[in-house]
Structure formats: C-alpha cells, structure tokens
Amino acid sequence: MTPAGTLSIDALRATEYPELDAVFLNSASYGLLARTTIEAINGLTARRNRPLGVPDPEPGAALRRARRAAATLLGAGVDEISLAPNTSYGINLGAALVRSGAPGRIVVSAGEFPANVLPWLPLRDEGWSVDVVPTVGGLPDEAAILEAAARSDVRAVSVSAVQFATGYRIDLEALGRVCRARDTLLIVDAIQALGVVPLSPADLGVDLLATGGQKWLSAPWGSGFAWMAPRHREKIRPPIVSWLAVEDGAAYSTDGGYHLDYLDDGRRFEPATLAVQDYLGLAVAMELLQEVGIEAIQRHVTGLHDPILEWARARPGVRVVTPLDPRRRAGILALELPDAERAYQALDEAGVRAAVREGLLRLAPHLYIDSGAMARVVEVLDGVVS
Ligand SMILES: Cc1ncc(COP(=O)(O)O)c(C=O)c1O
C-alpha cells in the first residue's frame, strides 16, 4: 500500500471517478465505488470462469489483504480484525461479549440506527435491561450517556460513532475514558465514521467496533469487519461456528478428526466462506482512501459543508441540526427545512441525490464531490426555501 497523503483528492477524483453524471450526496447510504475497486472485483469474477484463472492461494490472499487494510485504517493489529458481512454481525458479536458477563444494564441512545439497538433487545429475556437515553433537540444527550456509563450497574454502552440521521459525532474519547474507569464495555458502530474521520478504537478504550464497508469506505454491499480488543478474545465462544475458524480448518482432510481448536486471532469470529471478490473490493477501496489519507478526506468533506452552512445561517426557516463544531461532525450534514421532502425532490430533479432521514434533509458528500457541486446544491435549496 502506498503511504497516506501520496494521492491528492483531485487526482483521485479524475482517475477513479471520471464519469459522474450527477452529484451524489448520499454516501451515508452507500458510497460510490472507485474504478480500481470495480476492476478488482470484476477482474476476479471474470478470471474465476477460466479454469486456471484463480491460483489456489488467491482467495485467501484477498481476505488477508482486506484484514491488513482494515487493521491499518484502525491502527490495530491484523490479528484483531474479523471480516464480517455487515455492521449488525459485529454488534451481535458485541452482544455475545456483553452477555459473557453477569447481567446488568446496557445503555443506548434514542435516535440510533436500529442495527445498533435491536441486537440488545433479546438480552432482556436473560435478565438484562436496555436503557434508551432520550435525545435533546434530536441529538444524543452526551452528558446523560456519560453519566449512565459511570453507573455501577451499567455493563455496556453501545453507540454510533456518528449518528445516521443527524451526523452527530460523539466524543468517543470522553466516553471511552469513563467506560475504562468503570469497566463498562464500549461497543461502537463505526459505519458512518470510517473512511471520513480517523478512528483508532484501541486508543479510545473501545471494546468492540463494528462496520459495514458500503458507506464511507466505498466498498461493496455485504463487506465489512469487526475489531475486538484482544483481551476479550478468549472470553466468548464464537456465536457462529465456522470450519475456517479453527486450526487446520482448510486442511481438507478429516484424518485427524474434528476439533474446535479456534484460531488465536479475529478469524475465529468470521462466518466461514466470504464473498471473496467483495472483500478484495473492500481491501482495494480502503487502500485507496488511505493513499489519500483520512485526515485529508475529513478536511475536504468539512470544506464541502461550508457553503451549505453559510447559506443556512442566512435563512430563518433553516436549522442546521448537525453540530457546527467540526469535532462533532463527520461527513453528514443534516438540515431541518420547512419541507425536507420537497427539497429532496427538487435536488433530485436538478441531478443531486440526497436523502431524508427522520424528517431531515441529509447531505453526505464524500471525496468524489467538489466545491462546484456544493454551489449548485445551494442554488437549488435557495430556490426551494425562498
Ligand atoms: C449507524 C448505522 N449502523 C448500521 C447501518 C447498517 O447496518 P448493516 O451494515 O448491519 O446493514 C447503517 C445504515 O444502513 C447505519 O447508518
């Protein structure tokens, strides 16, 4: 992999996204695939049909490459990564970790994406309570979450690093500090953060991080990964038993019998055969992002927000719901407008794809958007609001 910062965003846009025929501001739903990523996926798929086209070691090497790129992205060890098809898989792994301890309370925030709340609800049948902390003005109540995290009967806090509708970026450093001091497990859904803001879970005191690759990582649907702090690895039985998760799993011989000798790394939590071509795509996508550098992407995206923020300041009927403080923002900018659906439609007709979530207009520009496109967005919004 080429070192971070060696590829400029303009150069990447020109070579990797040469044919964008509209303005895509919906990377919080799914990111656009770079040309190199598509070529890697299609190349492997095409070679698969040539009898000698895929050397035996290649699928395994593609998965190793994805684990390596994920580890680099998180500043983690490659042995700490478990490839997984989506965020939910990782959150469920977090639930297995939490239920390995004595029952208590689990804290989540209202306004969370369901993928980060529903996996906790079955624990209610096992003596656990799930506390949903109400939002304030539609945003997570960080003070209340911190207070809850410090309570002695709270065993786990599960949060999105960045909230799906409002784009609120929680202060993981502060939350991690409280959780660590109280031995409270911190589970983080990072899908709206990775690829657009730097995040190193071990430094932040996170216990488990889950993500899909389909959004800001600009990777295929159905690719993703989980990271678990190594100290927890032995505490839980893998919730899904995979023949590839054990020593000699791929020996293709039953002579030695059947043994559940789990691998001593994150592969023990992987769900057996994966969509190899898509994980190759995930690897290539993450390598590209890291060539540009996540800090550079963050600066670029924050800059793309600026014209919208400036416009919104001058419009009495418009409220910026996402915090203005860039430290509490990632890629999503959410606006409360007199009629968000109408704004969405007007943008769509003008060749701009946005989204409406929780009644808010959600703009999610990524590195393949330039400032000219945002000027066009302002023009359309101005036409709708005034
Ligand atoms: C915060 C958040 N978590 C999770 C998901 C998706 O979950 P999964 O990857 O399990 O489908 C989304 C969006 O689809 C999301 O915005």
pLDDT band per the 50, 70, 90 thresholds, residue 6: confident
Q: What is the mean pLDDT of residues 183-201?
A: 98
Between 130 and 252, the higher pLDDT residue: 130
Q: Is residue 121 part of a domain?
A: yes
Domain boundary residue, one of 239, 256, 290: 290
Distance from the alpha carbon of residue 120 to the mean position of ligand 1, in angstroms? 15
Q: Is residue 161 part of a domain?
A: yes
Distance from the alpha carbon of residue 319 to the mean position of ligand 1, in angstroms? 25
- Same domain flag for 300 and 226: no
Indicate which atom in ligand 1 lies nearest the CA of residue 224: 9
Distance from the alpha carbon of residue 190 to the mean position of ligand 1, in angstroms? 9
> Taking 60 as the threshold, does the pLDDT of residue 359 lie above it?
yes
For residues 334 and 4, is the Cβ–Cβ distance under 8 A?
no
pLDDT band per the 50, 70, 90 thresholds, residue 85: very high
Indicate which atom in ligand 1 lies nearest the CA of residue 91: 10
- Same domain flag for 315 and 279: no
Q: What is the mean pLDDT of residues 352-369?
A: 98
Indicate which atom in ligand 1 lies nearest the CA of residue 162: 1
Q: Is residue 1 part of a domain?
A: no
For residues 116 and 91, is the Cβ–Cβ distance under 8 A?
yes
Indicate which atom in ligand 1 lies nearest the CA of residue 116: 3
Select from 112, 160, 189 the residue to mutate for testing ligand 1; criterion: most ligand atoms less than 8 Å from CB: 189
> Taking 90 as the threshold, does the pLDDT of residue 7 lie above it?
no
Count of domains in the chain?
2
Identify the pLDDT of residue 306: 97
- Same domain flag for 197 and 250: yes
pTM of the model: 0.97
Burial class (CB in 10 A: 0-12, 13-18, 19+), 266: buried
Identify the pLDDT of residue 3: 66
Identify the pLDDT of residue 70: 98
pLDDT band per the 50, 70, 90 thresholds, residue 335: very high
- Same domain flag for 367 and 239: no
> Taking 80 as the threshold, does the pLDDT of residue 370 lie above it?
yes
Ligand 1 atom 2: the closest Cα is on which residue? 113
Distance from the alpha carbon of residue 187 to the mean position of ligand 1, in angstroms? 14
The tokens for 283 are 């690897």
- Same domain flag for 157 and 279: yes
- Same domain flag for 87 and 236: yes
Between 181 and 4, the higher pLDDT residue: 181
Domain boundary residue, one of 290, 315, 343: 290
Q: Is residue 51 part of a domain?
A: no
Identify the pLDDT of residue 17: 96
- Same domain flag for 221 and 144: yes
Condensed to tens digits (0 to 9), the pLDDT of residues 208-228 reads: 999 999 999 999 999 999 999
Q: What are phi and psi of 83, to 5 degrees?
A: -65, 145
Condensed to tens digits (0 to 9), the pLDDT of residues 99-136 reads: 999 999 999 999 999 999 999 999 999 999 999 999 99
Select from 164, 168, 187 the residue to mutate for testing ligand 1; criterion: most ligand atoms less than 8 Å from CB: 164
Identify the pLDDT of residue 250: 85
Ligand 1 atom 13: the closest Cα is on which residue? 29
Q: Is residue 64 part of a domain?
A: yes
Average pLDDT score over the chain? 96
Distance from the alpha carbon of residue 88 to the mean position of ligand 1, in angstroms? 7
Ligand 1 is surrounded, with C-beta below 6 A, by 86-88, 113, 115-116, 160, 164, 189, 191-192, 212
- Same domain flag for 165 and 213: yes
- Same domain flag for 102 and 22: no
CATH of the domain at 109: 3.40.640.10
The tokens for 186 are 């911190």
What is the share, in percent, of the chain residues with pLDDT greater than 90?
94
> Taking 60 as the threshold, does the pLDDT of residue 137 lie above it?
yes
Question: Which has the closest alpha carbon to 357: 163, 95, 134?
Answer: 163
Q: Is residue 52 part of a domain?
A: no
* Whole-number Å distance between alpha carbons of 34 and 86: 20
- Same domain flag for 158 and 177: yes
Identify the pLDDT of residue 2: 62
Tell me the residue range of the domain where 266 lies: 58-290
For residues 15 and 373, is the Cβ–Cβ distance under 8 A?
no
- Same domain flag for 225 and 123: yes
Q: Is residue 42 part of a domain?
A: no
- Same domain flag for 259 and 309: no
Distance from the alpha carbon of residue 87 to the mean position of ligand 1, in angstroms? 6
What's the per-residue H, E or C state across the chain? CCCCCCCCHHHHHHHHCCCCCCEECECCCCCCCCHHHHHHHHHHHHHHCCCCCCCCCHHHHHHHHHHHHHHHHHCCCHHHEEECCCHHHHHHHHHHHHCCCCCCEEEEECCCCHHHCHHHHHHHHHCCEEEEECCECCECCHHHHHHHHCCCCEEEEEEECECCCCCCECCHHHHHHHHHHHCCEEEEECCCCCCCCCCCHHHHCCCEEEEECCCCCCCCCCCEEEEECHHHHHHCCCCCCCHHHECCCCCCCCCCCCCCCECCCHHHHCCCCCCHHHHHHHHHHHHHHHHHCHHHHHHHHHHHHHHHHHHHHCCCCCEECCCCCHHHCCCCEEEECCCHHHHHHHHHHCCEECEEECCEEEEECCCCCCHHHHHHHHHHHHHHHC
Q: Is residue 254 part of a domain?
A: yes
CATH of the domain at 20: 3.90.1150.10
Indicate which atom in ligand 1 lies nearest the CA of residue 86: 9
Identify the pLDDT of residue 350: 97
> Taking 60 as the threshold, does the pLDDT of residue 1 lie above it?
no
Domain boundary residue, one of 265, 290, 315: 290
The tokens for 213 are 């690759």
> Taking 90 as the threshold, does the pLDDT of residue 88 lie above it?
yes
